Amino acid sequence: MPSLIDFRRRIRSVKNTQQITKAMKMVSAAKLRRAQEAVLAARPFANMLGEMLGNVARAAAGSDAAKELPLLQQRESIKNAVVIVVSADRGLAGAFNSNVNRGAQKFMQDQPGITFEVESIGKKGRDYFRRRGFTISGDHQNFSRKPVYVDVAAVAAKVSERYAKGEIDAVYVAYNEFKSVMTQKLQVEQILPVPLTESADTTEYIYEQPAEVLLASLLPRYVEVELWRSVLESTASEHAARMTAMDAASRNASDVIERVTLQMNRVRQASITREIIEVVSGASALK
């Protein structure tokens, strides 16, 4: 039978934990708001750029100069590929990290003919894949605290260059898309070769520059912006996931405190009752 002291200690310790989880929840909520605004602000540019690229690509389709563009070239067979895994630097965010890590791992294992490398954004992804013996071609940290465009662009430039050289035949990015505070959805998207969406719109444009020239300047930017958007989505998702996880943890702590308090009171009453019985029976023995 644990004594009263033990119960008190346990309650105090759970309360301490609860204070921490509550604080983390508050911090995440504040960060989430900022991250959410950043995602929403970045979406118009990414969407418009995608549409513009589609329009230009349609105009340039078939021209030899466009086929020469390295970032558009489709390789006949994909032998080497890179998956950019966007995870968090820190844990305690529920299923956030394991979601993206497991999703990326499954994606790679489903295509046994391809040799994959992992370009990791975020410490947790790097740790996960290093432990499992994957080749890590690059490791980038501290992106999610405050994402900086040039940092992300540097990663995009690196994979684009390797792609253009022919070292790799495809590049994918795995990240948690921010749907809402409660739901984050794992996405694995191809970013190289640049997937062109066929637009139904058939407007005839006046081109100030030849379409191939426009395409050549748009493509690298597109890769950057797609990666940038993934990082922002992932950042917002991370804070949302952490907030939800910490909320659940705080509630669990309340439950534990309630249960232990109840047990403690039972034990306390039992001992009081026992003492009364002892006093009463001692008194009656004297009669």
Partner 1 sequence: MPATFELEVATPDRLLVREQVTEAEAPGRDGYLGILPDHAPLLTELAPGLLTYSTGGAKHSVVVGGGWMEVLPTGVRVLATVAENPNEIDLKRAQAALDRAERRLKESGEMDISRALAAAERARARVAAAAQFGR
The residue length of the chain stands at 287
Side chain identity at residue 47, one-letter code:
N
Residue 9 CB, shortest distance to partner 1, in Å, is 50
Q: Tell whether residue 42 is a contact of partner 1 (CB under 8 A).
A: yes
Q: Is the peptide bond before 2 cis (omega within 30 degrees of 0)?
A: no
The least distance separating partner 1 from the CB of residue 109, rounded to whole angstroms, comes to 34
Contacts of 52 (CB under 8 A, 6+ apart): 218
Among the listed residues 190, 207, 259, 271, the single contact to partner 1 using CB under 8 A = 207
Selected from 1, 5, 44, 131, the binder of partner 1 by CB under 8 A is: 44
Contact range with partner 1 by CB under 8 A, out of 108-116, 164-172, 189-197, 219-227: 219-227
Q: Which stretch binds partner 1 (CB under 8 A): 47-55, 126-134, 240-248, 265-273?
A: 47-55
Q: Which stretch binds partner 1 (CB under 8 A): 12-20, 97-105, 191-199, 213-221?
A: 213-221
Among 209, 205, 175, which Cα is nearest to 190's? 175
Distance, CA of 256 to chain centre: 30
The helix or strand, by DSSP H or E, that contains position 159, with its residue range, turns out to be helix 149-165
56 is a contact residue toward partner 1 (CB under 8 A): yes
Based on CB atoms, which residue is closest to partner 1, 14 or 232? 232
The answer to the question of residue 196 lying near partner 1 (CB under 8 A) is no
Q: What is the Cα–Cα distance from 189 to 75, expressed in whole angstroms?
A: 17
148 DSSP assignment: -
Report, in Å, the least distance between residue 155 CB and partner 1.
Answer: 14
Asked if residues 156 and 227 have their Cβ atoms less than 8 Å apart, the reply is: yes
Judged by CB under 8 A, which of 204, 284, 286, 287 binds partner 1? 204
The C-alpha atoms of residue 126 and residue 65 are separated, in whole angstroms, by 39
Using rule CB under 8 A, residue 225 touches partner 1? yes
Q: At what angle do helices 211-286 and 96-109 cross, to 10 degrees?
A: 130
Binding site for partner 1 (CB under 8 A): 38, 41-42, 44-46, 48-49, 52, 55-56, 149, 203-209, 211, 213-214, 217-218, 221, 224-225, 228
